[in-house]
Structure 1
Amino acid sequence: MSKLADFFKAQNREFLKVARGQGGLPQIDKKPVRKLAVLTCMDTRLLYIVEPALGLNRGEAVVIKVAGARITEAFDSALGSLLVAVYELGVTDVAVVVHDDCGMVHTTADGLCEKMAAAGVSVPDIQAIRPHLEAWADPVGEPVPAVRDMVQRLRKNPYIPDSVQVYGISINPANGKIHVVEDSME
């Protein structure tokens, strides 16, 4: 077994001890209490920051994490997750949360393709994915324009009903301060 698997198992044993000592984990419904989905970036600095910075506790929101908080394809797994949140879990509000100093600002299709080639991915496989990478990675810019673009994309998405309100928020990962960039009422 790998060192990482051993680490996970040891950490889980400790977690379970604490949970048992507190009478177990509280039972929470899978439907988010606030009827909110948060689409945010996968950046490690956002772990344990986004939810408390927005005043969210366990069970109050669905959180979807994807690089750059981006959905660009007609259908991808992030959009699929959002559709499940809306149609299966009763979500009525979506907050798109981007952040300062996002690595996606410097990520390009060319750079990703070069790194894939260096890692041994075949040229035909790279060529097959390049158009998707260009549409997904190349347009990412600074946080405020990026979140406005994503909010508009979601508001115009034919699969998301007009009744779903979409908000745009930028967060500073160093201090947790948020800025509401795009309010659904604007």
Structure 2
Amino acid sequence: MINLDEILEKNKAYVAKHPELADKGLTSHPTKKLAIVTCMDTRLVGMLEDALGFERGEIITIKTAGNSVTQPIDNIVQSLLVATYGMEIEDVLIIGHENCGMIDFSATQFMESMKEKGISEDAIRMIEPGLIDWMDRFHISEENVRYTVQFLRHHPLFPKGMGFYGGMMDPDTGEFRYIEV
């Protein structure tokens, strides 16, 4: 269970240490006009943006399990559409990473784990097709990046000329490798 008192205490200390933040004049619009879609892996937290040279206010970072986009209008696409039409981004960078935990999952294993934690068979059946399509397609991180870039490049809701790119990050060293798609 989280320790809210500790979080509030650390936040109070952070705010006291950084009074200049309020004077930065930042908005929700990223100054670099870039959104990054990446994995929610904890090893990327606090490292990814820094390793690529981005500062607060310059980019939008969207995190999801496996940096995947599988549906025409899932939460990632919705977020990218808001970023495109509401925050004026022009480019999207999909970043996968080495040793992704998604590689270790299968839809069958995942559904078994759900059953063990008390999720009903009916609820599991409701999501099974989408879960299989998403989880069982994900076996090689680099291929997932290629698939996601192609999926978004051909998505009918993004404007012509918008840039979609891919890359891989080593979560242990921070090394980034561009992937030609």
Q: TM-score, normalised by structure 1?
A: 0.92
Q: Specify the alignment match of 2:16 in structure 1.
A: 17
Q: CA, structure 1 residues 160+6, in 2 after alignment: closer, same or farther (shift >3 Å)?
A: same
Percent pairwise identity? 34
Unpaired runs of at least 5, structure 2: none
Q: Specify the alignment match of 2:113 in structure 1.
A: 115
Note the alpha carbon deviations across 1:4-23, whole angstroms, 9 max, x for none.
Answer: 21121111111111013x47
User: How many angstroms does 1:161 deviate by?
Assistant: 1.7
| Residue identity in the other structure for 1:154 | L
Note the alpha carbon deviations across 1:93-146, whole angstroms, 9 max, x for none.
Answer: 000000000001111111111011000000000000111111111111222212
Query: Which range is displaced more, 24-33 or 145-154?
Result: 24-33
Q: Secondary structure at the match of 1:115?
A: helix
| Residue identity in the other structure for 2:79 | S
Unpaired runs of at least 5, structure 1: none
**1:39 aligned to 2:37?**
yes
Q: Name which of 25, 28, 39 aligns with 1:27.
A: 25
Q: CA, structure 1 residues 172+3, in 2 after alignment: closer, same or farther (shift >3 Å)?
A: closer
Number of equivalenced pairs: 181
| Residue identity in the other structure for 1:54 | L
Q: How far apart are the structure 2 equivalents of 1:172 and 1:23?
A: 30
Runs of 4+ residues over 4 Å off in structure 1 = 22-25
Q: How far apart are the structure 2 equivalents of 1:23 and 1:58?
A: 10
Instruction: Output aligned runs, 1:155-170, within 5 Å.
Output: 155-170=153-168
Q: Name which of 77, 85, 91 aligns with 2:89.
A: 91
Q: CA, structure 1 residues 182+118, in 2 after alignment: closer, same or farther (shift >3 Å)?
A: same
Query: Which range is displaced more, 128-137 or 23-32?
Result: 23-32
Q: TM-score, normalised by structure 2?
A: 0.95
Cα RMSD (Å) of the superposition?
1.4
